[in-house]
Amino acid sequence: MTEFKHTAALGAGVIGASWTALFLASGRSVAVYDPQDKAEKAVRDYVETAWPTLEELGLVKDGNPDAVTFHKSASDAVAGARFVQESVPEQLPLKHALFAEIEPALDDDATVASSASGLTLSELQGGWKNPSRLVLGHPFNPPHLIPLVEVMGNDKTAAGTVEAAERFYQAVGKVTIRVNREVPGHVANRLQAAIWREAIHLVKEGVASVEDVDKAVWAGPGLRWAAMGPTMLFHLGAGEGGLASFCERYTDSFNRWWDDLGVLHLDGATVSQLVDGVTAEAGDENPARLSAKRDALITAMQKATAELRRQ
């Protein structure tokens, strides 16, 4: 029996629409809430576009793209839903108002997950009388294509709720990690921020262009990171000696590099420099075509590695 057979997606932006497509593909029904009049068409168009990719990745499991309903009331959307994914804009008052509306309408055993990337779980819990069924379920964009979900509960979360959310995400094809302690940005966004900070620093210091820094990532360590994480890769980098040997060899080098990393904040001049650089890098490609190319590359990589990861 499929756990969490009926779901709800609150918010029909890019994240919410992507979650909807994935949930539908997994054989579940989805009730979508969004107050915008254009929401239904936007979600249906998104699902239609995403469906061939979901099929290509083997994520369509008796799914029906039409097993979706649309609601202008969030409380109506969550009625009867066992799993609710909240993806409304990152504004705390807006999320709190939404939580206050849906809490009385939720089934007693419903699990609610927030896609929030910039807000913490404790901040989100402030919108509940009883936040025991709320967890963090932060995806990477687009959720139907990027496997990662960061899951977190705390001392206010009911026993078993985090585990239930992890089971659900894994059942729809996701890869989960557990966030054990609350920090701004969770885990993966902080890693992205650290890499981007140094990328910007290298551009500002005239070490390389925006295009060449981007190229240095995707044509270099990015390929390795798509296979394994940095610590495991360094463990393999010293042969039989493993990570201990790697650290023995390279500690002085890494300490020197870390001491020289840039500390900076985005300001107007820096943003202008980055915009000029990425505009030159994009050339004649518009964002839609670049996004399609990105998704095709990610899909191809996912297909190529799927069988190896199952071994």
Percent of the chain beyond pLDDT 90? 92
Residue-wise pLDDT tens digits, 278-296:
999 999 999 989 988 998 9
CA 42 to chain centre: 20
Per-residue pLDDT of 173-199, as tens digits, reads 999 999 999 999 999 999 999 999 999
Domains and CATH numbers, the chain: 6-178 (3.40.50.720), 188-227+265-310 (1.10.1040.10)
Average pLDDT score over residue span 201-215: 96
CA–CA separation, 148 vs 175, rounded Å? 5
Burial call 130-140: b when 16+ CB within 10 Å, e when fewer: ebebbbbbbbb
- Is pTM beyond 0.85? Reply is yes
Average pLDDT score over residue span 9-19: 97
Helix (H, G, I), strand (E, B) or coil at 7: strand
**pLDDT at residue number 103:** 97
